[in-house]
Amino acid sequence: MLINDILYIESLKDYIRVKTPTQALISYQSLTDITDKLPVERFVRVHRSYTIAIDKVSMIDGNCVEVDGRLIPISREHRQEVMEKIYK
């Protein structure tokens, strides 16, 4: 799997699910750990349970972003940073 293939990463308590166009991989690590290792100009934490690839956002609808047909919530805590990164 290449970093360019990542659509979003979802937290599953002690695990994460890394979603790509062709597969979903489960790994034992925290969302914070993997988000900290990703390039900040390409990925943003949008919710306590999600990190998304900025270039994979197809639409923003209120407090959600759409990535690969899935609506992902944007928390109030992360909203300003998300909007700045998407619209820069």
Eight-class DSSP state of 28: S
Greater confidence (86 vs 16) lies with 16
* Residues 5, 86: Cα–Cα separation, whole Å: 18
Model confidence pLDDT, tens digit, residues 15-41: 999 999 999 999 999 999 999 999 999
Tokens of 7: 């659509």
What integer pLDDT is reported at residue 45 of this predicted model?
A: 96
Q: What is the pLDDT of residues 33-85, one digit of tens each?
A: 999 999 999 999 999 999 999 999 999 988 999 999 999 999 999 999 999 98
What gap in Å lies between CA 43 and CA 35, rounded to an integer? 8
Going by pLDDT thresholds of 50, 70 and 90, the confidence category of residue 87 is confident
- Give the other-Cβ count within 10 Å of 61's Cβ: 9
